[in-house]
Amino acid sequence: MAKSFVIPLPPYPSHRHSNKRATARNKQLFYDLVRECAKDVVSAPNDRRLSLSLDFYGKREDLDNLLKLLLDAFTGVLYKDDRQVVELTARVFRSSAKPRVEVAPEFFDDDKEAQRRAVESTESAHRANGQGPGQKMTEQELFALVTTLEAAGVTPDSLGDMLAKKGG
């Protein structure tokens, strides 16, 4: 597991602002801050798949904009392309003390490890939702499962092999 790091300022949502030049400058300053905070964790963008755990502390509530801004900022810092992120955990803790983002990346050694992790995460999520063997998934849950597995590079053949090993 890679070292975690903290970005000491809260990311702000990347929304349109009346002064686009100021917004672009603020965004670039944030990207520079991310690069500086991550330099002890990675020296160059990685091409391996990874899992990211992000804990946001502050007064901001717009998680989707916070995620987009941060994932964009990590491109060229932690990874070459955000498609390398095969697992993402994000939590918001509303607090006025020490606004920050705690980042914990975990790089996978190979695609099989990423695939195994994607399958385990999906199984864990279904157990948490009270789904067990023989229960039908909704269309939305099935789409989320397929998307997660595809992002991890799981093919139908490799999924069949993993399930056969698990059952045997």
Per residue of the chain (168 residues), what is the pLDDT tens digit? 568 999 987 545 544 445 566 677 888 888 999 999 998 888 888 888 899 999 988 876 678 888 888 999 999 999 999 889 988 999 988 877 788 899 999 988 876 666 666 666 666 666 666 665 556 666 666 667 777 777 777 776 676 666 666 664
Considering only CA atoms, give the Rg of the chain. Answer: 18
Domain 5-107 sits in CATH 3.30.1330.70 = yes
pLDDT for residue 150: 73
CB-CB contact of 132 with 163 (8 Å) = no
Paired strand residues for 6: 102
The pLDDT of residue 17 is 47
Three-state secondary structure of 89-139? EEEEEECCCCCEEEEEEEECCCHHHHHHHHHHHHHHHHHHCCCCCCCCCCH
Among residues 82, 84, 83, 102, the alpha carbon closest in space to that of 92 is found at: 102
Residues 6+ apart with CB under 8 A from 34: 7, 70, 73, 74, 77
CA angle 53, 57, 58 (to 5 degrees): 145
pLDDT of residue 78: 93
pTM over 0.75: no
- Residue 145's H or E segment, with its range, is helix 139-151
Domain ranges of the chain: 5-107, 111-167
Name every residue whose Cβ is closer than 8 Å to that of residue 73 and which is 6 or more positions away in sequence: 11, 30, 31, 34, 35
